[in-house]
A and B are shown apart, each in its own frame.
Chain A
């Protein structure tokens, strides 16, 4: 798959300083991510991409591997601050804060903007403790058990685990572990969920369960979803951002090619590059 991607990209990469037509959000925006440049050391990984994340919608990120989808996603809750060489130039407006403002504490940002990773990563604790982890971290004063049960139900895993809450989170299957991680992430009722290819390590059935879950979750949360699976984007995302790689000037810099409602991106894209990419994947 990525072979096709690379070939398509190589022949059709935008040269120079192309900038995508700005996407006009239809609803309220929770995170307005405006990337000028993102560097890892001297390497410019992403340039000029404005990606607004709308409230109670799933915003999908697609594009060939290495185009910077994860990089942009992880910039939105300052996860990338953990990478020493990471440097962000631009603005990420979260409600009325710029999260890259010097006064902002990235630790607190991450409590509002939760994250689900590519590989399920439960802690080596009981299922219950995994979900209660965030509540305890935030010194939650209310009924902990109630919140845990609620999160497990919300993540559609309650029936799988209700009789074994004391068992290890690591004893579950891959798909169950990923839903447990989603439960853990939503237990503290964060504002936004960032999901980086959350189903890519799962079998088709588990993938479908996670997809259904994402559609349900957007009622209460705002979701940003990176996926390498375009069918998944069409099934789940309301809005899709397609990113490409610019290999002019000898670099490999990712940038936003096109962002629009998912149907528009897949059926009637504005950019030739998008058309080729979407067709390449489906044919």
Chain B
């Protein structure tokens, strides 16, 4: 009986060793590579974390109510703040957004939906890509030429327009990409329901692409808020709260630029605090936009 059974058994297989061998060349190589990757990651995050650490430590020390409401101090004065610069930055970034977001999104509609292959589209797409990598100071020079010289004054208007010039390519390209990602079959469905082309764009493509569009807008706003070069020749600076849009206007970035180069302890501390304020502001808008524009579906 048992003989028969043995004959029917499949031939025994010699199993290889399945235990881990830590001293095998393969295992050692893998360990070394892992260690190297970790090392590089830590190395790469040192500057990142030290910037944030310094910002919080140095900037946090002075970021109080006085700092965010008072006017900038002169020379050897103590105290003071940068309230006017916060207002100026908000206003100019607001102007820039009000110009660049609608124009950029509508341009993106043209590029991604209406005439994606036309000469105008390919040319503007190419120019937008070139402009995203352009030195930002050129936006300042350009607006200086067309707005500051003609109106004969530095102004929040000019600063806003300069920032808009800077934001426009980023917004346009991101919005184009976001709308291009909306699947063709959703568009077909909308046409099949009896939508006109305008309705397809506004009822389906824009809402579906909104998270992507907002990501581009946030990037553009964050970039614009931190720019100083385009504001140097357009908004200049002011030591007072703005009374109107057609006068030289303070901004956080220019204040940081000015104060950090001064030989006074007080101003340098305020420059740190203003930097932290700028980062917090950008972060706040970032989170806000993500909450508002979160893809619910």
Query: A: which residues have CB within 8 A of B?
Result: 77, 79, 82, 107-111, 114-115, 117, 119, 121-126, 133-134, 137-138, 168-171, 181, 184-185, 188
Q: Are A168's CB and B296's CB within 8 A?
A: yes
The 6 closest A-B pairs by CB, nearest first: A168-B297, A111-B194, A115-B192, A121-B185, A110-B194, A121-B189
Q: Are A79's CB and B193's CB within 8 A?
A: no
Complexed CA–CA distance, A123 and B208 (Å): 8
Digitize B197-228: 1 where CB-to-A-CB distance is under 8 Å, 0 elsewhere.
00100011001100000000000000000000
- Cβ of A178 to closest chain B Cβ, rounded Å: 12
Q: Are B193's CB and A133's CB within 8 A?
A: yes
List the B side residues contacting A111 at CB < 8 Å: 193-194
Complexed CA–CA distance, A134 and B191 (Å): 11
Q: Are B190's CB and A123's CB within 8 A?
A: yes
Asked if B183 is at the interface (CB within 8 A of a chain A CB), the reply is yes
Complexed CA–CA distance, A207 and B185 (Å): 20
Q: Are A137's CB and B194's CB within 8 A?
A: yes
Given A107-B194, A121-B183, A137-B194, A169 and B297 touching (CB < 8 A)?
yes
Given A117-B185, A121-B186, A121-B188, A137 and B297 touching (CB < 8 A)?
no
Q: How many A-B residue pairs have CB under 8 A?
A: 66
Complexed CA–CA distance, A181 and B186 (Å): 11
Asked if B151 is at the interface (CB within 8 A of a chain A CB), the reply is no
Complexed CA–CA distance, A119 and B183 (Å): 12
Asked if B295 is at the interface (CB within 8 A of a chain A CB), the reply is yes
Asked if B195 is at the interface (CB within 8 A of a chain A CB), the reply is yes
Complexed CA–CA distance, A123 and B193 (Å): 12
Query: B: which residues have CB within 8 A of A?
Result: 183, 185-186, 188-196, 199, 203-204, 207-208, 295-297
- With CB as the reference atom, state the residue of chain B lying closest to A194: B192
- Cβ of B178 to closest chain A Cβ, rounded Å: 12
| Contacts A/B (CB < 8 Å), 11 sampled | A77-B192, A107-B195, A114-B192, A121-B185, A123-B186, A133-B193, A137-B203, A169-B297, A184-B189, A184-B193, A185-B192
Q: Are B193's CB and A181's CB within 8 A?
A: no
The winner among A133, A138, A169, A171 for most chain B CB atoms within 10 A is A133
Q: Are A82's CB and B297's CB within 8 A?
A: no
- Cβ of B214 to closest chain A Cβ, rounded Å: 15
List the B side residues contacting A109 at CB < 8 Å: 194
- With CB as the reference atom, state the residue of chain B lying closest to A111: B194
- With CB as the reference atom, state the residue of chain B lying closest to A167: B297
List the A side residues contacting B199 at CB < 8 Å: 137
- Cβ of B191 to closest chain A Cβ, rounded Å: 6
Q: Are B207's CB and A125's CB within 8 A?
A: yes
Of A82, A126, A138, A185, which contacts B191 at CB under 8 A?
A82
Complexed CA–CA distance, A111 and B194 (Å): 5
Complexed CA–CA distance, A45 and B99 (Å): 48
Complexed CA–CA distance, A253 and B190 (Å): 30
List the A side residues contacting B193 at CB < 8 Å: 110-111, 114, 133-134, 137, 184-185, 188
